[in-house]
Amino acid sequence: MNLNKYSILAIDDDPDVLTAVRLLLKPEVKEIATEKNPENIPSLLAKQSFDLLLLDMNFKASINTGNEGIYWLKRIKELQPNMAVIMITAYGDIDLAVRSLKEGAADFIVKPWHNEKLLGTIEDALKSKGFSKTKSSLPVKDSVLGKELLGHSEVMQDIFYKIEKIAPTDANVLILGENGTGKDLIAKAIHERSLRADKPFVKVDVGALTESLFESELFGHKKGAFTDAKEDRVGRFESANEGTLFLDEIGNISLSQQARLLTVLQNRYITRLGSNQPVPIDIRLICATNIPLNELANENRFRKDLIYRINTVEITVPPLRKRGEDILLLAKHFVKLYSNKYMKPSIGFDEAALQKLLHYHYPGNVRELQYTIERAIIMSDGDVLQPKDLIFSPIESVPVAVAEPDDLNLSSIEKNTILRVIEKHNGNITKAAKELGLTRTALYRRLSKYDI
């Protein structure tokens, strides 16, 4: 596309950014105008007609909420509804950038950008000038990012859009979410849409590695490095070279393991156990944890410098109970999957069964729904699943029947307290045990004692 007939206005309070934009676009476009103060936008648009506007998300050094950019985007759309606007944002403002699409931005560009990427984004915006790429205009598909990563809900469409924007970069990604929400599927989807898609995707459950295995598993070892090292072994970092390394359950590694991992990420090379020879590594890092970020940020638990290193971009996966009609979408997907697997005829749902699925709280998330449907398909004799066919897992969920509050018997008080805490955590035994100051085993003993 030839840009030499278009006029572009760039608004950013960073003079270096404006200089870079001016140098890039001056030989490409008819005119490039720049402005540091967004307060001058109305007068600039009144004096001259521009085809496209590049708008920074933040203008106040002490405030980085992105609200300034959203405010000025709305003003621009009031003044010139058909103006194509591209937001300029940093990695940490991806959520706000997605929000800007709802407000009428044509697209956004993440800084620091590649010049070819910025020119391509400008070309795409000008080709569709006058079209507001709002959330509702984004494609909604049953299987947007693979055969198993499904979602019509707004929260999942947000995630799908983030993945499409983030994947082509080499930004490190931290995926947050409860167990069973599909964090590993999101990591794989990012890799498959990255520039490293034809290279290895290596997954490591680092939370399961002992102190003695951590370095050998991740960095490799030389023959004779320790008693059982009978041959040279390549570690997971080297196996993932030029590809993607996915470290699952990153929140469960010790502080000493964190220190060793940080050193590798900073220096970009590993040293095998038993060797002094550094080996350069080139990986895209994706990490995941079920620990909320505010808990992870506790310095007694996790190093903040490592959080910053692994968290260039953050994706929070919602629990299934917050995904609304996605529950039914996923249930129907699993019915089809397991009907084929177990060679059953096409099976449907009774309306009451659908309502039961919608109103359950899913402490085990998508994984629990999947196993529930698989079990129902195996045990069902008919071609329509009834509510009685849907038996949810007893592993995490405990039925709650709270004792009468005026019963002051000591055993009744203990039973009542346990039931209330379990109810508070929606049947999640792990969280209930933690709040009660018990181990899971001790809590299960009490549940058995009180026949709960």
Report the chain's mean pLDDT, rounded to a whole number: 84
Least confident of 153-157, 361-365, 409-413, 420-424: 409-413
Q: How confident is the model at residue 143 (pLDDT cuts 50, 70, 90)?
A: very low
pLDDT at 90 over 60: yes
* Arithmetic mean of pLDDT, 273-293: 92
Looking at mean pLDDT, say which of 14-28, 104-118, 437-451 comes out highest. 14-28
pLDDT of residue 66: 60
CATH 1.10.10.10 for domain 320-389: no
CA distances from 127 to 73, 146, 176, 316, 331 (A): 20, 29, 36, 33, 40
Q: Identify which of 421, 383, 384, 382 has the alpha carbon closest to the alpha carbon of residue 402.
A: 421
What gap in Å lies between CA 88 and CA 96, rounded to an integer? 11
Cα separation of 77 and 105, whole Å?
A: 9
Q: What is the mean pLDDT of residues 40-48?
A: 87
Question: Could you tell me which CATH number the domain at 154-316 has?
Answer: 3.40.50.300
**Domain topology for 410-449:** Arc Repressor Mutant, subunit A (1.10.10)
Q: How far apart are CA 247 and CA 184, in angstroms?
A: 10
CA-to-CA distance for 261 and 271, rounded, in angstroms? 12
Distances (CA, A) of 209 to 98, 157, 182, 377: 37, 34, 21, 36
Q: Residue type for 227, please?
A: T
Specify the higher pLDDT residue, 322 or 414: 322
* Each residue's pLDDT tens digit, 352-399: 999 999 989 898 999 999 999 999 999 988 889 999 999 987 765 544
Lowest-confidence segment of 88-97, 132-141, 211-220, 316-325 by average pLDDT: 132-141
Residue 448: Cβ within 10 Å count: 9
> Residues 6 or more apart from 283 whose CB is under 8 A from it?
237, 240, 241, 242, 243, 244, 245
What average pLDDT does range 261-286 have in this prediction? Answer: 93
- The predicted model scores a pTM of 0.60
| Superfamily for the 7-136 domain | Response regulator (3.40.50.2300)
pLDDT higher than threshold 50 for residue 117: yes
- Model confidence at 452: pLDDT above 80: no
| Domains 154-316 and 410-449 are alike in CATH topology | no
Q: Break the chain into its structural domains and give their ranges.
A: 7-136, 154-316, 320-389, 410-449
